[in-house]
Structure 1
């Protein structure tokens, strides 16, 4: 029996790599990565698609390749790729703002659109988009980043409702996952004093681990979570 195919973007490090490792036994993975050296152990039995999501033309080509090569048996999409921009808005160049919107918001929308068209044939599939705690709380120096993550959460909720409005026997699910402070390469660059402040605000008094997020996603794409749809799943250690 062929394994269901799952696309994971940003799969070469951090959360994406943890998700890929968690799903590797049960699914055939389509791994998006700009650098592939970290996922050589995942090449056997899986697929690797390279693309620079900061370039709209590469996103378009990526979506076309996804549909052409995997459209017949795509089971789920996990839009994990993103960039964390931490800088006062007054000092953020226009090109950085555009780049954050392109990678964090426009790209997952385009990939979700492609997946939605594929899933529409069978009226079944799962789309998971990664949001963030700051989509709800906001955060100084992360104004644009917060906006992109709030945008993707709203998009995902609306997409879930749209599927229900379009299809009588709808089984297409769209879910956003909102992590808090998680130990990854992305957060490792935060000065230790700032990390300590973040941890102090978490009721569990520690940062989350990438594998903890990955295990939640493994559940969400499974049939065990077949009634979870349109929700934002908060994984932040109890931060309100």
Structure 2
């Protein structure tokens, strides 16, 4: 156990919970969800920090609290929280569009901004933004969601270059990962015919598990991955 603190957004269930469980024995965790009631699992060495990421004012308060309470020890940020409302763009309500843009892209940008301020003092830290395979391939009825996920890849690459431009000597890394079809409550909503179609496209012949992604996150936070920076890593079983 180190004194390094790792922030994980969307940590109360699914992928975020799996990541939290994996990292709980290695780091002190700052776990985010929209409310404390969202947490049904208690993890040791963890702090809970809540905010509705669709609300810019709450995101601003969240970032101020993060810096005030944990700025001294913050080492890693996992921007995992995300939402999707699948629909043809023609019929997509503006409220749903705004929510996806705010939660999936604006909130991570603001959290990255806060983390970069903190990391600039210690000249060390890791930001991992969770994108998606659809950020590269696109997907019908997910135009807005896919756009936000593509944005996270561009954000990560740009910030990695920005760090280098501002600091000659540093150990700050920014990268993204793009999971494919991972068994979560989001993929559980897919019709069986859709699942069968995608399964045929995956060379590994199975959907990924949240634990697969958690293992990758653990590696990327470690010193063993010190030369992995400014890139997007696919974890999708070979899905083309």
Query: How high is the TM-score relative to the length of structure 2?
Result: 0.97
Distance 1:178 1:39 in 2: 27
Deviations 1:73-103 (A, max 9, x none): 1010000000022111111011111110000
Distance 2:40 2:29 in 1: 11
Task: Indicate yes or no: 2:149 matched with 1:149.
Answer: yes
The aligned residue for residue 191 of structure 1 is 191
Contact 1:17–1:39 (CA under 8 A) maintained in structure 2: no
What secondary structure sits across from 2:10 in the alignment? coil
Distance 2:183 2:214 in 1: 13
Task: Indicate yes or no: 2:18 matched with 1:18.
Answer: yes
Task: Indicate yes or no: 2:77 matched with 1:116.
Answer: no
Instruction: State how 1:160-239 maps to structure 2 within 5 Å.
Output: 160-239=160-239
Structure 2: unaligned runs, 5 residues or longer = none
What secondary structure sits across from 1:40 in the alignment? coil
The aligned residue for residue 40 of structure 1 is 41
The aligned residue for residue 64 of structure 1 is 64
Distance 2:34 2:173 in 1: 28
Distance 1:84 1:187 in 2: 11
Distance 2:138 2:191 in 1: 19
Distance 1:2 1:16 in 2: 20
Distance 2:136 2:184 in 1: 21
Deviations 1:103-138 (A, max 9, x none): 000000000000000000011100000111011111
Q: CA deviation at 1:57?
A: 0.6
Distance 2:40 2:169 in 1: 37
Instruction: List structure 1 runs of 4+ shifted beyond 4 angstroms.
Output: none
Q: 1:115 to 1:39 in 2, by over 3 A?
A: farther
Structure 1: unaligned runs, 5 residues or longer = none
Instruction: State how 1:102-141 maps to structure 2 within 5 Å.
Output: 102-141=102-141
Query: How high is the TM-score relative to the length of structure 1?
Result: 0.97
**Count of aligned positions:** 239
What secondary structure sits across from 1:183 in the alignment? coil
Deviations 1:143-187 (A, max 9, x none): 011100001100110000000110010211001010000000111
Distance 1:225 1:2 in 2: 17
Distance 2:216 2:2 in 1: 23
Q: CA deviation at 1:2?
A: 4.9
- Larger deviation: 19-28 or 198-207? 198-207
Q: CA deviation at 1:34?
A: 2.2
Q: 1:184 to 1:52 in 2, by over 3 A?
A: same
